[in-house]
Copies of this chain bind each other. A is one copy, B any other.
């Protein structure tokens, strides 16, 4: 398309929080405010109301995947989907039901961090998620670049996103990952964006919020298509 004619308005980027917590979704939306650029796509942050309060169990993950696919089918207007849960629930499924690009935040967060540093670290909210994440990194074929993954202790998803206690744990885990050789750190959850900048400053390393990373990729694809 020639650059001197306005592109038809692209459909929105749908950022879908598969848990039912509206406050988490509101946090996502705030973290993405700057990505709502004039002339660019809308960025809608959606809550799946029938989801569980948090995606904790493997059943939560699988059910979230189906709900995300249902939503994708109902929204042919979307120009991209972002699955805003670090387990990337339903990523293969959602890709199979829509022609629009589908970004999982674990994939996008990890791949974006790999563009910043040779070896990376991940901070998970809970230790129980780490085996799932490692399995996914092996599937991605990038585990040779993981310096380590460490979990917070005793915090919920919501609690991890703000407050001094959470920050202290994030800083501790970040320092330990740095000692293990991490040159960049990925926040391994959708709800930690508000801690990103402060943690980056503290560590002196790039800290990647995975939802922002996924939206940046989605936005880039849309801008490229309009070029």
Instruction: Classify chain A: how many residues form its interface, as a range.
Output: 35 or more
The interface residues of chain B lying within 8 Å CB-to-CB of A101 are 116, 206
Partner of A135, one of B114, B115, B118, B193: B118
Tell whether, in the assembled complex, residue B212 and residue A223 are in contact, meaning their CB atoms are under 8 Å apart.
yes
**Residue A165 interfacial (CB < 8 Å):** no
Tell whether, in the assembled complex, residue B135 and residue A139 are in contact, meaning their CB atoms are under 8 Å apart.
yes
Tell whether, in the assembled complex, residue B103 and residue A115 are in contact, meaning their CB atoms are under 8 Å apart.
yes
The interface residues of chain B lying within 8 Å CB-to-CB of A66 are 59, 62-63, 66
The interface residues of chain B lying within 8 Å CB-to-CB of A33 are 3, 227
**Residue A154 interfacial (CB < 8 Å):** no
A131 nearest in chain B by CB position: B118
**Residue A173 interfacial (CB < 8 Å):** no
Q: Which of A7, A145, A224 is the most central at the interface, judged by chain B CB atoms within 10 Å of its CB?
A: A224
At the interface with chain B, which of A16-24, A34-42, A156-164?
Answer: A34-42
**A14 CB to nearest chain B CB (Å):** 16
A193-B227 contact in complex given A57-B96, A69-B59, C-beta closer than 8 Å: yes
The interface residues of chain B lying within 8 Å CB-to-CB of A215 are 220
Partner of A141, one of B35, B142, B181, B223: B142
Task: Kindly list 4 other residue pairs between chains A and B, CB separation below 8 angstroms, not including A139-B139, A212-B223.
Answer: A31-B224, A111-B112, A209-B224, A212-B224
Q: Please, could you name 23 A-B residue pairs with CB atoms under 8 Å apart, sorted by A?
A: A3-B34, A34-B223, A35-B227, A37-B40, A38-B39, A58-B92, A59-B66, A62-B65, A62-B69, A66-B66, A92-B132, A104-B115, A107-B115, A112-B220, A115-B214, A118-B135, A119-B134, A131-B183, A141-B141, A196-B224, A197-B227, A216-B223, A217-B220
